Structure 1
Amino acid sequence: MQKPTLVILAAGMASRYGKMKQIEGFGPNKETIMDYSIFDAIRAGFEKVVFIIREEFEETFKAIMEPKLAGKIKTAYVYQHLTDFVHADAAVSPERSKPWGTAHAVLCAKDEVKENFVVINADDFYGEDGFRKAYEFCTTACSDTNYGIIGYTLSKTLSKNGSVSRGVCKADANGKLVSINERTKIYWKGEQVFFEENGQEFEEDPASPVSMNFWCFSPGVFALSESLFSQFIKERGMEPKAEFFIPIVADHFINTGKGTIQIVGTDAEWFGVTYPEDAPTVEASISALVNAGAYPPALWS
């Protein structure tokens, strides 16, 4: 059996955060959030990690990651460029300055990944249970007609300090994904959860599964993504801020009958950094996990 690969999306511009949060240290010894994800992935059984990065950050990125990962897991690097998979005769907005989003980033790994694989964000802390569930799914259930998404409990992904954006998953009776409803402003109000849409307030079930961009795919997703991206560029290439997101591929996959996407639930606590103000909370959360014995104080020693 070929073991699955971990693919980490680390090419984001980090515009709201203001710096390269992917390589910022939050652990006791300046471990990055990615360090904890990779550590959990190794514990789960993964033997290879592919980083999707911006080529201009290659030297800095490798200098930070390679010394601590050497001998622990195989590494590979993929670059996401604006022109990747864009035909020379395609019409693209001259105002476009950054690549085309998460599904485009995954597509850039096409030549490097030949086995079932897991996709995660670099700046999200997913927890050990999520990686164990993802590894099990990739090795026992993932196929060209059955993908997976790790579903986190909504209440465990919200902030007490304000609203956030979350993709709330709707499942059928068999736990298969039907749709992901993007809630761009969802928040606690007392002990209840609400979201706003078109100026109105609606209640949401705090136990609902949500997508934190933690996916399980077979290599078959590359051909599908390439076809959809070509169509996307034809239709939206002149939009300077258009994004080709993973849910676009997922929606097409299930809505055209090409296959199903299993929602794989986890009870793990999620946390992440979007704004600089999030950093102290992330540091405190990691410190609590280390003090509880979930992780060693020096992760790679």
Structure 2
Amino acid sequence: MEPQISLVILAGGLGSRFGGAKQIARLPGIDSTIMELSIADAYDAGVRHLIIIINAMVRDAIEQQILPNLPADLDVDLVEQRISDVPSEFAALAQQRSKPWGTGHALLCAKSVIRDKAIVITADDYYGDIAFQQITEHFRRSENWGCVAYPLLNTLSEQGGVNRGICALNHAKQLLRVDEILDIQFEGNTLVGTNAQQTRVELDEHALASMTFWGIDLRLFTILEQNFYQFLSIHDNGVKKEYYLPDQIQYSIDTLGIAVDVYPAQQPWLGMTYKDELPVLAQKISALKGLTDVQHVIEE
């Protein structure tokens, strides 16, 4: 029996550095958002259920500019992440907060519409169509969770240092942990970054980095709900602390023994932070997808 696979897109970010809503920024020459390209890739891999986690400010734009472009047989749920979506005893804490609770809370908001298994991605990163094929095939033969991770060298930026979660694997190519390394860049011919001990360390450019491409199932939503309650109970400063999805996946590995199979990406990861990166990103995606007329449109 084929598993029911949903695509969950985390699209609730406010895009402060981008200067607007990255979720609906159209790539020049391609006339598509990154999110639409990812949806098309997931659809081609057999996914027929889409959940988009949004903030209220982009609902109208997504309904008017994104949804009409999607396949007619794609079942779509729009879910708003609201700061007020907390257990009733923490309502006063929510009133003190001005920013979303984080990616763990964002995914938890989809609990009522999730069906079975899910691919979780972000709206402003392009992962390539093979990544979706890897995870859908994984779900056909395994009950483990999954992750598509990208060679570190393919995730660097020409704009300067980047922060990445470096995957540590066991002998079975399953995830042990993700180590956050900051300010990763080449210094001369050596790739270095700052670890949790604030030490500059040399990195293997072929190490795998987690770029938020997860294959999960209903078990994670129970964990997210339970641990979000604990998070709110412990972190009574409701302003800065965030409830991160990777932390909850790590908890699932360490505490519950859940296995996460890691698949090295076969295509480059492409993402953006600033609006002026859109033309370059469009060129790279067009080259990856073989769209030969995009370069001419961009240069006009």
Scaled by the length of structure 1, what TM-score is found? Answer: 0.91
Q: Is the 8 A contact 2:52 2:77 kept in 1?
A: yes
Q: Which moved more, 1:89-98 or 1:215-224?
A: 89-98
Corresponding residue for residue 259 of structure 1: 258
Corresponding residue for residue 101 of structure 2: 100
Q: Report the Cα offset of residue 91 of structure 1.
A: 5.7
Matches of 1:30 and 1:126 in 2, distance apart?
18
Matches of 2:140 and 2:21 in 1, distance apart?
33
Secondary structure, aligned partner of 2:209: strand
Q: Which moved more, 1:245-254 or 1:270-279?
A: 270-279
Secondary structure, aligned partner of 2:66: helix
Matches of 1:202 and 1:228 in 2, distance apart?
33
Corresponding residue for residue 127 of structure 1: 128
The structure with the greater share of residues assigned to helix is 2
Corresponding residue for residue 146 of structure 2: 148
Matches of 1:288 and 1:212 in 2, distance apart?
21
Corresponding residue for residue 212 of structure 2: 213
Matches of 2:117 and 2:54 in 1, distance apart?
20
Amino acid at match of 1:258: G
Distance 1:39 1:87, change over 3 A: same
Corresponding residue for residue 284 of structure 1: 283
- Kindly report structure 1 stretches of 4+ aligned residues shifted beyond 4 Å: none
Q: Report the Cα offset of residue 3 of structure 1.
A: 2.7
Output one character per residue of 1:144-174: Cα deviation in whole Å (capped at 9) or x when no partner.
xx21111111111112331111100100111
Q: Is the 8 A contact 2:15 2:22 kept in 1?
A: yes
Matches of 2:259 and 2:29 in 1, distance apart?
41
Corresponding residue for residue 36 of structure 2: 35
Q: Which moved more, 1:109-118 or 1:256-265?
A: 256-265
Q: Is the 8 A contact 1:90 1:233 kept in 2?
A: no
Q: Report the Cα offset of residue 290 of structure 1.
A: 4.3
Corresponding residue for residue 182 of structure 1: 180
Amino acid at match of 1:173: H
Q: Which moved more, 1:71-80 or 1:203-212?
A: 71-80
Matches of 1:112 and 1:269 in 2, distance apart?
31
Q: Which moved more, 1:99-108 or 1:233-242?
A: 233-242
Q: Report the Cα offset of residue 277 of structure 1.
A: 3.6
Q: Which moved more, 1:255-264 or 1:226-235?
A: 255-264
Corresponding residue for residue 75 of structure 2: 74
Amino acid at match of 2:277: D
Q: Report the Cα offset of residue 188 of structure 1.
A: 2.4
Report how many residues are paired: 292
Q: Report the Cα offset of residue 72 of structure 1.
A: 4.9
Distance 1:281 1:188, change over 3 A: farther
Secondary structure, aligned partner of 1:99: coil
Q: Report the Cα offset of residue 200 of structure 1.
A: 3.6
Matches of 1:76 and 1:116 in 2, distance apart?
15
Q: Which moved more, 1:91-100 or 1:260-269?
A: 91-100
Distance 1:289 1:64, change over 3 A: same
Matches of 2:238 and 2:86 in 1, distance apart?
17
Matches of 2:91 and 2:69 in 1, distance apart?
42
Distance 1:112 1:3, change over 3 A: same
Output one character per residue of 1:8-39: Cα deviation in whole Å (capped at 9) or x when no partner.
00001111111001100015242000111011
Matches of 1:43 and 1:290 in 2, distance apart?
14
Q: Is the 8 A contact 1:91 1:234 kept in 2?
A: no
Amino acid at match of 1:213: T
Scaled by the length of structure 2, what TM-score is found? Answer: 0.91
Corresponding residue for residue 47 of structure 1: 48
Which ranges in structure 1 are unaligned for 5 or more consecutive residues? Answer: none
Secondary structure, aligned partner of 2:32: coil
Matches of 1:63 and 1:91 in 2, distance apart?
34
Corresponding residue for residue 84 of structure 2: 83
Q: Is the 8 A contact 1:116 1:216 kept in 2?
A: yes
Corresponding residue for residue 159 of structure 2: 161
Matches of 2:260 and 2:45 in 1, distance apart?
21
Q: Report the Cα offset of residue 88 of structure 1.
A: 2.9
Distance 1:240 1:27, change over 3 A: same
